[in-house]
Amino acid sequence: MKYEITMYKLLGIFMVGSIVFMSIGFWMGHTLGETSKIDDAQVMVPPYCHASFRGNEITVSCTELEDYSALELCNMFSTSLKDKIRVVVITSD
């Protein structure tokens, strides 16, 4: 027995297979991909941070000093360092 297939039929099978597998890939990427996971994300923001949402972008800005007062900041430095530098804390309150 001898089976023959013409080049055009082989090319047609290849094209149809490529289209089917690409559409399956796009469908899986859309349903299982990163786009659905970003929409479900929850952002936990510490009390000393501020979060702003603009479109699909989440921006979290934090102050590393948390809620320290100026006196607490000065007490963190050693005595010799306090003599050499001056600490100025500017807040928006």
pTM of the predicted model, to two decimals? Answer: 0.37
For the chain, how many structural domains are there in total? 1
* Contact by Cβ (8 Å): 61, 53: no
Token output for 29: 């990427």
The answer to the question of residue 72 being in a domain is no
Give the range of the structural domain holding residue 34, as residue numbers without chain letter: 7-65
The answer to the question of residue 73 being in a domain is no
The answer to the question of residue 30 being in a domain is yes
Ramachandran assignment for 55, one of left (phi > 0), alpha (psi -120 to 50 degrees), beta (any other)? left
Per-residue pLDDT of the chain (93 residues; tens, 9 = 90+): 787 888 989 999 999 999 999 999 988 887 777 665 555 667 777 777 777 878 777 777 777 666 666 677 677 777 777 677 766 666 665
